Structure 1
């Protein structure tokens, strides 16, 4: 069973259990991968978080039921996992643009969010450059973490670094990096999430540097065990193509560790890289 079939089987499972409490671990098991990586792959390929997709699909089905039957709003709320009619109504209006009661009216215009299916577009004219790096020691990264909305990560993360440059935090990290060069990860680092599953609409983005000394009192410490990494130039492009093009055909599985965005100094080529933790299949 290939990667594409496993992902679509997981989507089938979601679709068949939208009116039940969905277990994210079970969804990932259907796809034969961890919660962490199923959620990350889903978000990267679809552009929305897994939880947001499930919410949109449930509300779309609820809208169909409202138009086709006289089911009570409270019963519909309970069916699709809401604690009250009020919370259901707020979510319904925010997502579909009108109140559930108004959706009963004939001729009213509603939004519908169709189910997703994954396909791979084969493009032989655009290669993906990468290399494999082995870091055989524990990575000790110091810095600060910020919460990032999953659906806005590509816009939010550059803003975080711009703010860090303005308030001096970036320069502080630069001054601490390269003090004791130990590997090719001597750069500004953006660690995406952690070992917990990214199933919510936001995740922790850790901005820091590899550092072996005593961290300043205003910084946190993140430890990443020895690992093997697939390294790609051009972070934005790598994120877009990683799960849909490289992973399915690489002979590697993703390790249950966070990906790391590396931003190098002015004379380094490439200027930035995406480090992805992997293990051989």
Structure 2
């Protein structure tokens, strides 16, 4: 897997001044485009699209300082339709416009070229199980919220607190199958997984019961799931569980890959709010043999 990922990274380097087809990168890595994006963001710590943008503008920055081509020629070569668009992107990464950088020889930001290598870890292990579920429904309340990678999500906290206790009790009373109890569901997450992009968040339960008209419903197709369990500090226990799933479990279990679908978590927090027992359900499929 790591060798294939590094071959995909080499492909990116060869095409920084051309269009980069993510489907082709996934083909090189012998996986699906969906799983490639998820795996890359977990391993690299930033979305694939952001890495490509930073690498392009790192290389473009060297061309700007070299002074051998016009700024417009450089902009066009790296895929920008106008000098203005290039200048905005350049400033966002380097903190200075290309014209000023050329005139003053300003210090620029450099995104290092990434490669992946094996680091011997895994002494702690991960508790997991594989579950096959028929079509099921998540019933509760839904909100559109921004993606937050670290710490509590203020939009989710505010949304849950805005629900009256009676509504929460009614929702909880509908639970009748796994995952048990109140679940937090993230659906329609942007492929880039960039901080601040929006997703559908459900506060609800998994149920086969009749659905009250005032509640929202998410129908989840039948499929396989990998279920991870962890205990530790809150909310890090759950956030690290997602990270470890992609940085440790998937690379160690190449027979499976992630597939499109909602991510479901269940968290039981201690009375003082410092610790939690977490369960994370991720939709998976077997890879081609």
**TM-score normalised per structure 2:** 0.82
Q: 1:147 to 1:12 in 2, by over 3 A?
A: farther
Tell me by how many angstroms 1:26 deviates.
1.5
- Measured in 2, the distance between the counterparts of 1:264 and 1:12 equals 40
Q: Contact (CA 8 Å) 2:139, 2:171: kept in 1 or not?
A: no
Q: Deviations over 1:165-186 (max 9, x none)?
A: 3211787355313425023344
1:271 paired residue number: 277
1:45 deviation in Å?
1.7
Partner of 1:144: 142
Matched, 1:223 2:219: yes
Cα distance in structure 2, aligned partners of 1:17 and 1:198: 21
Aligned match of 1:238: 241
Alignment CA distance shift 1:147-1:26 (3 Å): farther
Q: Out of 134, 152, 172, which is 1:177 matched to?
A: 172
1:53 to 42, 47, 51: 51
| Distance change in 2, residues 1:130/1:170 (3 Å) | farther
Shift of 1:54: 0.8
2:192 is the counterpart of 1:199: yes
RMSD value, Cα: 2.8
Inter-partner Cα distance in structure 2 for 1:168 and 1:232:
28
Note the C-alpha offset of 1:120.
2.8
Superimposed CA distance per residue, residues 104-142 of structure 1 (whole angstroms, 9 cap, x where no aligned partner): 246521111111111232114222121222223334455
Task: Report the count of equivalent residues.
Answer: 273
Q: Distance in 2 between matches of 1:4 and 1:264?
A: 32
Rate the CA distance shift 1:266–1:99 in 2: closer, same or farther, 3 A.
Answer: closer
Maintained 8 Å contact 1:247/1:253: yes
TM-score for the superposition, normalised by structure 1: 0.84
User: Which of the numbers 109, 129, 132 marks the counterpart of 1:131?
Assistant: 129
Q: Give the drift of 1:192.
A: 4.6
